[in-house]
Structure 1
Amino acid sequence: MPIIKEFDLDLPYVKKGGNREDYEKNWKEKRMQFRDEIRCVTSLFEQNFQKYKSSDSWKVMVNCRTIAENNEVKCVGGVTEVSVDFDIDNYFSLINIEKKKLILSTLKNGIDIIVDNNGWDPSLFDEAYQKVIDCNYENHWVWQKPKKSPDRKHNAQVYCEHDIDKFTAHFIIKDNTGEVIKAEKIIEECPNEWYFHSYFGQLKWITSKEVALINKDGTNHLNVQI
């Protein structure tokens, strides 16, 4: 049985001109910005979701429409979809924390419809929803375990912050007492995993005074020296 492990929101094209030129001119940029911004909340939901086995789905997609003509639930290729009402102009007028709250409530709205329609147990979905609220919508984490330097005097870790408008990562280097002796930003990217996931391949000390984050294909090193 497939396991539900991904959650997403989309902003389907509202047909006005009904052609590619109209989409490129009036909708594509808005949609891409929305798709980037929602990931800080949906990925936080995923991190707090304890995986759920379903008969046909590995992903939940909530389509945000100005007017959702119906709330029909359908599953295509393992992706269970539903449409909900959403005011995109209002969304873009909000400050970041209010955007996050609206993203989560919209995701939960869609999930509730799907759960009710499919007869899924709502408890795990409700639990993940509450955990996002409990951590104040902050999607921060340490990538992998801290790495000890060859001389055993320092620990290095990569601290990540995934926000509405950007993703950043810092090297945090501590001595054996736990005191931070160096903190340096090494990544600032668009807030969508497609832009930043490839940075994270290997954390490695080059010497006892220099540590590097090596990308997935080994072609780029982000180095910091003590």
Structure 2
Amino acid sequence: NIEEFMYLSDIEKKMMTLQVLKETVIKVFEELQIDSTDFEKACEQIKNCNYKNEWIWKKKKNKNFIAEIVLAHEVKTAQIFLRIYKNKEYIREFEILSTYPDEFYFSQYLGRIKWVDDKTVAIEQKNGINYLLIDINRGIIKDWSEKE
């Protein structure tokens, strides 16, 4: 019932979606006589991770730091973060974008990542023209839309 679904909390929506997906895929696997063990393990892992859908998109090292672009895909939003580590120890995080949870919207922001100097990270958009500059101490120092 789509109307009931719309009133569920985000976690309830994730739980229901996984359950419907799991039931449907397992039926197809049974009909095609495909082993569903790996799929069922993946579903359990989703539950064990509390339905968190987050992954590292790209990582770039310099001599002192590691910069990671992390995507967090939720029901209503997709967020892109820059996480900074020093010697594998978490230092800080910057939210660099929050948009619709659809790859069509956020993928345009996922081009190259590079260190401009020891403490400044550049994240290029896919078009290779627009970019974001982040100083790991001060935060964003050039936004996507700013012209040179």
Provide TM-score, normalisation by structure 1: 0.56
Match 1:195 to one of 95, 105, 127 = 105
> Which structure has more RCO (C-alpha within 8 Å, separation ≥ 6)?
1
User: Aligned residue for 2:3?
Assistant: 89
Going from structure 1 to structure 2, the CA distance change for 1:178 and 1:88 (only over 3 Å counts) comes to same
Task: Give the C-alpha shift of residue 161 in structure 1.
Answer: 1.1
What's the RMSD between the two structures over aligned residues? Answer: 1.6
Q: Is the 8 A contact 2:66 2:85 kept in 1?
A: yes
DSSP 3-state at the match of 1:164: coil
State the alpha-carbon separation in 1 of the partners of residues 113 and 128 from structure 2. Answer: 11
Unaligned runs of 5+ in 1: 1-86
Q: Are 1:217 and 2:130 counterparts?
A: no
Task: Give the C-alpha shift of residue 218 in structure 1.
Answer: 0.6
Q: Are 1:148 and 2:58 counterparts?
A: no
Identity %: 31
Q: Are 1:170 and 2:81 counterparts?
A: yes
User: Aligned residue for 1:159?
Assistant: 70
Task: Give the C-alpha shift of residue 125 in structure 1.
Answer: 1.8
State the alpha-carbon separation in 2 of the partners of residues 113 and 198 from structure 1. Answer: 36
CA distances 1:29-72 after superposition (whole Å, capped 9, x unpaired): xxxxxxxxxxxxxxxxxxxxxxxxxxxxxxxxxxxxxxxxxxxx
Match 2:15 to one of 101, 116, 121 = 101
Task: Give the C-alpha shift of residue 196 in structure 1.
Answer: 1.0
State the alpha-carbon separation in 2 of the partners of residues 169 and 105 from structure 1. Answer: 27
Task: Give the C-alpha shift of residue 209 in structure 1.
Answer: 2.5
Going from structure 1 to structure 2, the CA distance change for 1:123 and 1:221 (only over 3 Å counts) comes to same
User: Aligned residue for 1:119?
Assistant: 33
State the alpha-carbon separation in 2 of the partners of residues 94 and 195 from structure 1. Answer: 25
Q: Supply the AA of the counterpart residue of 1:98.
A: E
Q: Is the 8 A contact 2:83 2:90 kept in 1?
A: no
DSSP 3-state at the match of 1:111: helix
DSSP 3-state at the match of 1:136: coil
Structure with greater Cα Rg: 1
Moved over 4 A (4+): none
Q: Supply the AA of the counterpart residue of 2:71.
A: C
DSSP 3-state at the match of 1:157: strand
Q: Supply the AA of the counterpart residue of 1:125.
A: F
Match 2:53 to one of 139, 148, 164 = 139
* Residues 74-85 of structure 1 aligned to structure 2 (within 5 Å): none
Q: Are 1:130 and 2:23 counterparts?
A: no
Task: Give the C-alpha shift of residue 173 in structure 1.
Answer: 1.9
Unaligned runs of 5+ in 2: 137-148
